[in-house]
Amino acid sequence: MTLKRATLTQFLNQQYLCESLTIKEVETLLDYTEVMEVDKEQIIADIGDVGEALFFVLKGEAALLSAAPGRALTVGRMKEG
């Protein structure tokens, strides 16, 4: 997914976690950011894994699932933003 840096800066400026950051701070954050595209049904992270990343949904949505033996229960959905 190719997104212009200005588009990502604008997107991050609209997020609650970044609202207290200056434009320069958001641009610095972008230096440590990578855009990844995931396929439908692709697992981004497993429950219990130690996280090393912060994810924002730029387009589409991601489901939060709790796996039970033989089935997956949808706990929530993260939409764009």
pLDDT tens digits along 9-41: 888 888 888 888 888 998 898 888 888 889 988
pLDDT of residue 1: 46
Q: How many residues does the chain have?
A: 81
pLDDT given at position 2: 55
Tokens of 78: 């993260």
Q: Per the structure block, which two tokens stand in for 5?
A: 């840096």
Note the pTM of the prediction, 2 decimals.
Answer: 0.69
pLDDT at 3 over 80: no
Nearest Cα neighbor of 45 from 67, 13, 14 is 67
Average pLDDT, the chain: 85
